[in-house]
Each structure stands twice: as C-alpha cells, then as structure tokens.
C-alpha cells in the first residue's frame, strides 16, 4: 500500500477513536479498574494523538544515497520487516496497543497482536474502528489469549518476523529465548522497573511531595516506570515524610466510574494478593508503616494508599517491582551516595530528579543509568519522546522517531557505474 494511503488510514482511525472516546474509556475502566476520568481525559485522547503522530511518519520513511569508495552507486531501502507479533500488558491496554500498532503500520508491516488476559475488550473495539478507517482485512489481527499458550505460540512461530513485548522482565527473558530457539526474529522489550525519584535538599518540598505521590500512585501504582524508590535528602527527610503521608491519606479511593476518584481497584486478585504480601514483607523487614497497609473497604481489590519510611536498600520492597500503591521513602546524605544507590538495581527504566540546582541536575541526569530522566516532572509521555530501558528494563525504544527503527529493515543496494568520475 502506498505510504500516503497508510497515512490516511491512520488519520481516519484517530478521528474515529475521538468519536468513540467515551465508549473506549468505559471499556478501559471496566476491564482494568482505572479511574474513568483518567481514561476519558488522558488515555483515549493520547491514543488518537499517537496515531496522528505515526500517520505523520508514514510518508517520510526513506533510505539514503551513500558515497562509497569506487565506482558504485549505493543506496539503502528502508523496507517493512513483515509480520509483527506484539504482546501487550494490562496496565494501559489502549496505549500499549497504540505504541506498538502505530509504528508497525506506519512502516508498512502487518500485525498479530495478543492482548493481556485481564484486559481484552478495548483492543477488540478499537480494531473494529481501524477496519472502518480502511485497513484491509488481515493486515492486523487481534488474539485474546493466555501468555504461555497464545503468546508463546506467536513467539516461536516461524512466519512471524519480529516481536515487540511489554510486560515483566521474567516473561521478557522467556520471549527472547523463544525467538532464539525458532527463527531469531528481532525482539524489542519494554520490561519492569524500580525507578528512583530523588529529592534534593534545595527542592521545593510541597511540589516534590506532590510529584513523588503522582509518580508512584498514578494508575494504582501499576506503571513500569513508577517512582518506587523515593530517595530524600536527610535535611528535608522528616518534613517530606510527614507531607507524603498526609497526601496519601487524602487520596480518594473508590468506584473508578465516580467523579473525583483518584484510585480504583487493582487489576485482579493475583496482583491484589501480591501487593499485600509485599506490604507484609515491608513491615516484617523493619520499615516504618506511615499509613495504609491493608485492603480498602471490604469489597473489591482496593488497597489503601500505603507509605513506608525508613526503607533500606536491601529490603524486598526497595528491590522488587511491587506494581501497587506502596511508596517507599529512603534517606540519603550525599550526591555520590545516592547515585550509587539509585544505580544499584537490575532495572534501568526511568528516574525523577527534584532540584533547582543546575549542577546537581546535570550531574544526576548524566550519572543515572536509565532510559528516561524527568527533571522536576514525571510521567510526561509525549508521542515524540522515546521510551525504553537500560539493563533488565528492556531493549529498544518505543515512541518517537527512534521507534521506527524497530519496524524497518535496511537493504543496501550497490550498482557499478560506467563513469568512474561520477
Ligand atoms: P504480568 O505479570 O504483569 O501479568 P506478564 O509479563 O506475565 O506480566 O504479561 C504481559 C503479557 O505477556 C500478557 O499479554 C501475557 O499474556 C503475556 N505472556 C505471559 N507469559 C507469556 C509467555 N510465556 N509467552 C508469551 N507471552 C506471555
């Protein structure tokens, strides 16, 4: 299909998504439990924005002409890879679909996408809109299925040419293995995290508290990049802990379809139980439980916003990805020390820095081994900003121009020329 046609389909798709904004948001809340206000005001509009962003790229993908030694005309063709297998998680079902499907289609590939077992609905609905926008039958197929069966089948399939996965580091390793054992299809991985959020002594404490709260509690704490290790300078530590606790106590938890609700239930019983086990381990290992610590209400998978202080690096709650509304606050003394401690993690997805000191910000920004650094901000997810991990947080980048590379092959074409002076 001509690039311009692909572009027009993606643009029409974005228009249709906007038209169906409320239904899509309702499905997302229904499936996942996230606040409807978040789905309707942020996630679905961002989906449309991502599709327009990728539509913009569709007709701007081209190779190069390269001056090689000798009488040769050398050019590169940027070709689609082919059939892309994509496996997405349950925490942002629509946005994960957009991050994967957008670049794959813009570059001219076909897609087989497997949704997470917990959240199959919005992908099915949105794919109907994609076909209404003009995508030919068969160019994109959705599979609702389980990971070890449907997901693994996709990974080991000899006719799948590329894999893109977002999920846990543990599953990411299995996926690389399946690729290696089958046809060595290239794999992009966006995996877990344990992101440091560093509050320096000069930071504006009230806004640091608010941003650290958002960085951790957003989406019920179910974010791969959640700021789940809050490092606070000793000079402002006590004040920060007091205020972080007060903010968590104010967080509105309840029916995600109700107005003004900041936190809905966790996605399922398995996650709910896992988070409660981590909270118990925090208490058992000697961290101070400032607030929260158990189920909210008696019905549903709601968890009280939980804050731990006096957390030590070797505690499980400071090392593992909890994926829940549990904030861990740690104390530090010097910049060198916090850099070492922040980097001492198997993960390297993101980091937050809170300071007005330019030298401190520059030092930290360069020293942290992570794929995204947010300075005096967190969770800014523009379509053009690349996202991905260092270390065991993943391979490759999604969003932005960088994401196109994942979905293109480069073919070098060499032709001798008659006139050597050319
Ligand atoms: P979580 O533990 O947060 O559910 P997973 O990594 O298990 O994260 O799941 C993310 C996605 O990976 C889901 O779509 C899931 O079905 C899929 N998945 C799980 N196990 C496998 C597997 N063995 N092979 C392929 N996909 C899998």
Q: What is the tens place of the pLDDT at every residue in 167-214?
A: 999 999 999 999 999 999 999 999 999 999 999 999 999 999 999 999
- Ligand 1: atom nearest CA of 154 is 25
Which three-class secondary structure state does DSSP give residue 206?
Answer: helix
Distance 150 CA to ligand 1 centre (A): 10
13-28 confidence digits (pLDDT tens): 999 999 999 999 999 9
Distance 357 CA to ligand 1 centre (A): 41
- Ligand 1: atom nearest CA of 116 is 14
Distance 180 CA to ligand 1 centre (A): 18
- Ligand 1: atom nearest CA of 88 is 14
Strand blocks (E) in 70-218? 72-80, 83-87, 110-115, 140-144, 162-166, 187-190, 196-199
Distance 139 CA to ligand 1 centre (A): 23
Burial code (b: 16+ CB inside 10 Å, e: under 16) for 287-318 equals bebbbbbeebeeebbbbbbbbbbbbeeebebb
Which residues are paired to 231 by β-bridges?
Answer: 198, 330
Instruction: Write out the two tokens for 417.
Output: 């020329």
Which residues are paired to 193 by β-bridges?
Answer: none
Query: What percentage of the chain has pLDDT greater than the value 90?
Result: 98
Task: Return d(Cα 165, Cα 136) in angstroms, integer.
Answer: 24
pTM score, whole prediction:
0.97
Ligand 1, atom 20, lies closest to the CA of 147
- Determine contact, residues 32/137, Cβ cutoff 8 Å: no
DSSP letter at 406 equals G
pLDDT at 339 over 90: yes
Residue 224 annotated among the catalytic residues of the structure:
yes
Task: Return d(Cα 99, Cα 104) in angstroms, integer.
Answer: 9
Residue 418: the pLDDT is 83
Task: Return d(Cα 39, Cα 256) in angstroms, integer.
Answer: 10
Q: Residues 28, 190, 290, 321: which is the catalytic one?
A: 190
pLDDT at 354 over 60: yes
Q: Label residue 419 by pLDDT band (50, 70, 90).
A: confident
Give the mutation target among 31, 87, 144 for probing the ligand 1 site: most ligand atoms within 8 A of CB. 87
State if residue 89 touches ligand 1 by the CB under 6 angstroms criterion.
Answer: yes
Phi, psi of 130 (to 5 degrees): -65, -40
Helix residue spans in 136-197 (DSSP H) = 152-156, 169-181
Nearest CA to 32 out of 98, 119, 107 is that of 119
Residue 420: the pLDDT is 61
DSSP letter at 10 equals H
pLDDT at 422 over 80: no
Q: How many helices (H) and strands (E) does the chain have?
A: 14, 18
Distance 347 CA to ligand 1 centre (A): 18
Ligand 1, atom 27, lies closest to the CA of 147
Task: Return d(Cα 65, Cα 335) in angstroms, integer.
Answer: 47
Average pLDDT over residues 271-276: 98
Instruction: Write out the two tokens for 225.
Output: 């990049």
- Which residues touch 142 (CB under 8 Å, ≥6 apart)? 113, 114, 115, 123, 124, 127
Q: Label residue 240 by pLDDT band (50, 70, 90).
A: very high
Phi, psi of 395 (to 5 degrees): -140, 130
308-323 confidence digits (pLDDT tens): 999 999 999 999 999 9
Query: What percentage of the chain has pLDDT greater than the value 70?
Result: 99
Residue bearing tokens 């966790």: 266
Q: ipTM of the predicted structure?
A: 0.98
Q: Residues 224, 225, 290, 398: which is the catalytic one?
A: 224
Which residues are paired to 74 by β-bridges?
Answer: 66, 414
State if residue 147 touches ligand 1 by the CB under 6 angstroms criterion.
Answer: yes
Distance 121 CA to ligand 1 centre (A): 17
State if residue 266 touches ligand 1 by the CB under 6 angstroms criterion.
Answer: no
47-95 confidence digits (pLDDT tens): 999 999 999 999 999 999 999 998 999 999 999 999 999 999 999 999 9
For the chain, percent helix, then strand, then coil, each to nearest 5? Answer: 40, 20, 35
Phi, psi of 373 (to 5 degrees): -120, 120
């Amino acid at each position: 299909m001509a690039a311009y046609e692909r572009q027009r389909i993606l643009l029409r798709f974005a228009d249709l998504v906007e038209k169906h904004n409320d239904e899509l948001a309702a499905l997302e809340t229904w499936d996942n439990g996230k606040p409807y206000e978040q789905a309707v005001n942020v996630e679905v509009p961002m989906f449309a924005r991502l599709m327009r962003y990728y539509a913009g790229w569709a007709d701007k993908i081209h190779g190069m002409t390269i001056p090689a030694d000798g009488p040769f005309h050398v050019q590169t063709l940027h070709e689609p890879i082919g059939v892309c297998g994509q496996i997405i998680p349950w925490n942002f079902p629509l946005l994960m679909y957009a991050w994967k499907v957008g670049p794959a289609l813009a570059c001219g590939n076909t897609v087989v996408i497997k949704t997470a077992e917990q959240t199959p609905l919005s992908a099915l609905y949105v794919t109907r809109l994609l076909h209404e926008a003009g995508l030919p039958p068969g160019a994109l197929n959705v599979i609702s299925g389980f990971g070890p069966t449907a997901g693994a089948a996709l990974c080991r399939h000899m006719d799948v040419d590329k894999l893109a996965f977002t999920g846990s580091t543990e599953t990411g390793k299995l996926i690389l293995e399946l690729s290696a054992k089958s046809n060595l299809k290239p794999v992009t991985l966006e995996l877990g995290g344990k992101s440091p959020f560093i509050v320096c002594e000069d930071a504006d404490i009230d806004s640091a508290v608010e941003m650290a709260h958002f960085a951790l509690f957003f989406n019920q704490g179910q974010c791969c990049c959640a700021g789940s290790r809050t490092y606070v300078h000793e000079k402002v530590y006590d004040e920060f802990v007091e205020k972080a606790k007060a903010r968590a106590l104010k967080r509105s938890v309840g029916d995600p379809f109700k107005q003004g609700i900041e936190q809905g239930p966790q996605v399922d019983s398995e996650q709910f139980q896992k988070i409660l086990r981590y909270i118990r381990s925090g208490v058992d290992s000697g961290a101070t439980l400032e607030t929260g610590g158990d189920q909210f209400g008696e019905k549903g998978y709601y968890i009280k916003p939980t804050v731990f202080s006096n957390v030590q690096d070797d505690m499980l709650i400071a090392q593992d990805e909890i994926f829940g509304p549990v904030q861990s606050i740690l104390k530090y003394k010097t910049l060198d020390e916090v850099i070492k401690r922040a980097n001492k993690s198997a993960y390297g997805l993101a980091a937050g820095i809170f300071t007005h000191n330019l030298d401190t910000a520059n030092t930290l920004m360069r020293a942290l081994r992570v794929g995204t650094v947010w300075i005096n901000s967190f969770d800014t997810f523009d379509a053009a900003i690349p996202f991905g991990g260092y270390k065991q947080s993943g391979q490759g980048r999604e969003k932005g121009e960088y994401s196109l590379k994942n979905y293109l092959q480069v073919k070098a074409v060499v032709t001798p020329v008659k006139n050597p002076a050319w």
